Each structure stands twice: as structure tokens, then as C-alpha cells.
Structure 1
Amino acid sequence: MFGAVTRHTARSSAGVRAFSTSNVRTYQSRLSQFYHNTLRDDLTILSYVPPTVRARQQVAEVARQEKAANGPSGTPPNPVRSHKQRVKKAKEPEPTAHNAPHLEKVTVHIRCREALQNKHHLLSALMALQTITGQRAEIIKASNDGASWKLRKGMPIAAKVDLTGDRMYEFVDKLVELVLPRMKEYNGLKMDAGDGHGNFSVGFDSSVIGLFPEMEMVYDQFPLVTGFTVNFKTSAVRNPSGRLLMSGFNLPFLHARKQPADTFRL
């Protein structure tokens, strides 16, 4: 289940056998199977818009852009605003089983402020990041100087891991099935979250990293644990498609609740 280890033998020029082992994955992630077998077809159906409705939406979008470019009635059009409105945005393709939105990359990022005083503090955050992701982390160094933070160019201040393939799906599966349900004060992402292109970011404090199953038994061995950020990069063009994809992976989104009007009694 956890992969097989194959042993290869090769005879060198001196006649001595050299042994080498390599990890070979013999299974596919559960979340990856769920996406390719079930979720991808569901996203295609849910994202379908009839041609007549799509045509009306395009006409309404053009009218809205013209109204925003011309400004209020009786005022001359603003050339700067008109130029910004004419900039074409990426159009969302027709939903099919081949171009359904999918998860491209997950980046886990840890920033250690204590590393400004002593760079060895970053080692604890680096090892914690490698423990929860199962992949070697990359050290990020400062690109500019910051006098107020006593930051110099080239100082190590953060670490990150870029996950793709089965490791990416395994991390997302652990996050939504094991970590998020154990958090006491987390309701989900806001509906207006995202960068406008279907990508989302979630930040967690230092207490959440101890909820991962790999960290439960060794949490006390880390002298310094900081918060981390998870960035989800999808192939969606707009936020609604990306939000639909992440909802299929059980990532919660928070609906804005209307506050009830105050009632007065005589």
C-alpha cells in the first residue's frame, strides 16, 4: 500500500556488484482517484452554461463595461478608464471533460521572524515543514534590505515546499480530512476570497501544525514552531470555477450571513 522498494544490481568494471534502492509508487492517491473518476465529470456538468444564456451574459457584460467607461450621464468619457475597460480578460473556455478545472500546485510557505535574530531558528521551521509535507523544503532568502526590520539582502527568512502530483493530493487530503475538522475556530474561507484567477490562500497559526498526524508524536522535539500558509494554484480562469473545484475537495467556504434587523417593543 505504501509503495514497493525495488533493488537493482549492476556489475561494475572491477567486478564488484553495486546495489541501489529506489522508491517506486505502486498506488494512486485517494483524492486523485476521486477527482479523475467522479469530481471532474461533476465539475463539467455544474459549469455548463447554455449558449443562449452565455450570449445574454456577454451582452450584459459589454453594456456594463461601456457604462463604466463612459461614466455618469452628462460627463465626458474618461480616456484612462476607457483604456482599462478595453483590456481583455482571459475568457473561460467551454466546460468539457478535458479542460475541467484541476489543481496544479500546492505551495506550503513558512515565514520565521525569529530568523532575523538567529538564522538557526529557521532550522526548526524547516524540519517541521518537511515533516508535514514529506518533501525537502527550499530556503527563501531576502531579496532586498529592510532597515526597520534589521533585514539584509541574502538573509534566510522563510522556507517553502511546492507540491505536485500524488504528494499534492495526499497533503490536501490530510488537511481537509484530519486537520481542519480538529480546529475549534475555523469556519472556512470567505466567498470573496481568491486572487480573481481561481487561486486561493489559507493562513494558519502555529497551533495548527501540531494537528498533522506526522507531528503529533514529535511536536515537543521542535523548539520553535511558527504558522504557515497554504497556496492553492488551480487551472481555473475565474474565482467561481476555482471555488467550485476546492469545494469538491471539501475545503469549506463561509457564506455571509445577514444581520437581523433590531426590533423594538413598546
Structure 2
Amino acid sequence: MNIPELKKIYIDEVAPALLKSCGLKNVHQVPKIEKVVLNSSFGAELDKNGIEELRKDMTALSGQAPIVIRAKMSVSNFKLREGMPVGIKVTLRGNVMWDFLLRLIAISLPNIRDFRGVPAKLDGSGNYTLGIIDHSIFPEINVERQRTNTGLDISIVTSASNDADGSELLKLLGMPFRKNSSESSNQQEAA
């Protein structure tokens, strides 16, 4: 069985570094990535063909079939009826999760035009959520047949107990966090 490349990096380099930097005594206390959740929502105006196209894109992107999230209640202001599809969700675990993270960090994010890094704000529990405006940054998505730009939320759930440990885990895995604007302005003044 092949071990994904990013998982090898985690086992060989990241876990020992986290063990030292966090001052942990047991290797089982080292923070790890538990799952990655991909969410994409759409308005009530999207037709059935658009929903099917989005399902095909999410399947190509994640490697597994997404589930369709339906409205739990009717809201007249949004032209939404109970039971109408409002979003698509995929939960990735195991080797599929590691492969997706490698594609995200090494290929997709650097291909964004004028990319300067992703925001470094975690949720307080060591988990990270990244919003992408257009899901066509991934090489698996066929741009020619896509009609609408659909956003995508990527939630990386870790076993870290705080933001510092979760942030350190993601940095060591290669997540391109944005430098603080105050740090970059100080560097420009010094030059």
C-alpha cells in the first residue's frame, strides 16, 4: 500500500518537530489532521443542470461522491422551500485527505493570481477554514464546461487543543500563511 507523500512528511519530519517544539512527552499527544471537509453552497436560482455540474466537479476534486444538503425550512425572502438542495458537502479522511491537502498546498494555492498567502486565523480550537472564491483553481476542474464561479469552503480539522499548535502543524506541513502586514512594512522600512 502506498503512503501519500504529505503523510510521509508528517510522520518523518513534522511529528518529531512538533514533539520537541510543543514540549510533549508522548508521541500520541502530537497534533494531527483528522479530516478535511469541503463545502459548496448555491442559491435557490441554480437549476438542476448547474447542481449536477457542481456535483461532477466536487467528485473530480475529492475523489468521492458528495452528499447534497437540503433546506430544513422554507424562507420566502430567499425563495427557498423546505427540501430544496442548497449545498454539497464531502468529508475526506485517510489517504484521500492527504492527497487532497498536497494538491491544495503544492499546486492549487500557488496557482492563484497575485497569491500572497492565506490568512493565518484559526477558529480557537486548532481548526482552520479557508474560503476559495472560485473552485476552478484546482487542475481537476474542466474550465471550458464551467458556466458559473462557485465558491468552496475547505475546513481542516486537527486534533490540536489550541490555535498555536494547530498553526504550527499547518506551517510545518507547508500551508502558505500570509505574513503580517506590520512585519512586511517593517522589512520595507529597514531596506
TM-score when normalising by structure 2: 0.88
Tell me which amino acid in the other structure corresponds to 2:73. Answer: N
Residue in structure 1 matching 2:11, options 17, 23, 36? 36
1:223/1:28 CA distance change after superposition, 3 Å = same
2:140 is aligned to 214
Structure 1 position 236, deviation (Å): 0.4
Distance in 2 (CA, whole Å) between partners of 1:120 and 1:198 is 38
1:228 is aligned to 152
Structure 1 position 250, deviation (Å): 1.0
1:171 is aligned to 100
Contact in 2 for aligned 1:109/1:161 (Cα 8 Å): yes
- Please state if 1:194 is matched with 2:119: no
Q: Give SS of 1:160's match.
A: strand
Residue in structure 1 matching 2:42, options 112, 130, 139? 112
**Please, which runs of 5 or more residues in structure 2 have no aligned partner?**
187-191
Q: How does 1:55-74 map to 2 (within 5 A)?
A: none
Distance in 2 (CA, whole Å) between partners of 1:187 and 1:236 is 26
Residue in structure 1 matching 2:20, options 45, 51, 57? 45
Structure 1 position 205, deviation (Å): 1.3
1:95/1:147 CA distance change after superposition, 3 Å = farther
Identical counterparts, % of pairs:
25
Structure 1 position 186, deviation (Å): 3.1
Tell me which amino acid in the other structure corresponds to 1:245. Answer: L
1:260/1:242 CA distance change after superposition, 3 Å = closer
TM-score when normalising by structure 1: 0.65
Structure with higher helix content: 2
| Alignment length (residue pairs) | 185
Contact in 1 for aligned 2:124/2:162 (Cα 8 Å): yes
**Please, which runs of 5 or more residues in structure 1 have no aligned partner?**
1-25, 49-93, 262-266
Distance in 2 (CA, whole Å) between partners of 1:124 and 1:260 is 44
Residue in structure 2 matching 1:245, options 165, 169, 172? 169
Structure 1 position 210, deviation (Å): 2.6
Structure 1 position 27, deviation (Å): 0.9
Distance in 1 (CA, whole Å) between partners of 2:50 and 2:181 is 42
Q: Give SS of 2:144's match.
A: helix
Larger Rg: 1
Structure 1 position 260, deviation (Å): 6.4
Distance in 2 (CA, whole Å) between partners of 1:232 and 1:95 is 25
Contact in 2 for aligned 1:47/1:95 (Cα 8 Å): no
Q: Give SS of 2:114's match.
A: coil
Q: Give SS of 2:81's match.
A: coil
1:181 is aligned to 110
Distance in 1 (CA, whole Å) between partners of 2:36 and 2:153 is 10
1:256 is aligned to 180
- How large is the Cα RMSD of the aligned pairs? 1.9
